[in-house]
Amino acid sequence: MKYLILLCSLFLNGSLLIAQSTLRYDLNKPVIRHHLPAILNEVSGLTDLDSDHVACVQDELGIIFKYNFRTGKIVSEHRFDSIGDFEGLTYINQTLYILRSDGQLTAWHNFLKSRKNGHNQRYR
């Protein structure tokens, strides 16, 4: 078990060193900064949707905000749940996954194509 942990640690550290050496930007000197609207001050999850938009989940509201980082504006809001404590967000294969702090995972299928709540599934 010790060797497996050591091997994983070496692999991860080596991967991070390789990734750092190929970056072409300096996080200490950003080219642009975005000041999010006040409603997004408590964002606890963020994921890219396409080349112009990200989805954000505010920490305590059951709302997904679609934000256009090229214009600096919220372009839509999508309610999916009641008030909760949301911790994570990711977008994979047309499905948006939202994680609540109690472990509930909501899968919002066809997120970009749905006009309302679409087809949601909840998992515990």
The CATH classification of domain 39-123, taken from the options 3.40.50.2300, 1.10.260.40, 3.40.50.300, 2.40.10.480: 2.40.10.480
What would the pLDDT profile of 60-103 be if each residue is shown by its tens digit? 788 899 999 889 899 999 887 767 788 889 999 989 999 888 88
- CA–CA dist 50, 2 (Å, integer): 41
Structure tokens, 114: 């749905």
What would the pLDDT profile of 9-66 be if each residue is shown by its tens digit? 444 444 444 545 566 778 788 888 878 888 888 888 899 999 999 999 887 788 899 9
DSSP letters for 97-109: EEEETTS-EEEEE
Higher pLDDT, 71 or 114: 71
Q: Tell me the residue length of the chain.
A: 124
φ, ψ for residue 112, nearest 5 deg: -70, -25
Q: pTM for this one?
A: 0.69
The answer to whether residues 58 and 40 touch, using CB atoms and an 8 Å cutoff, is yes
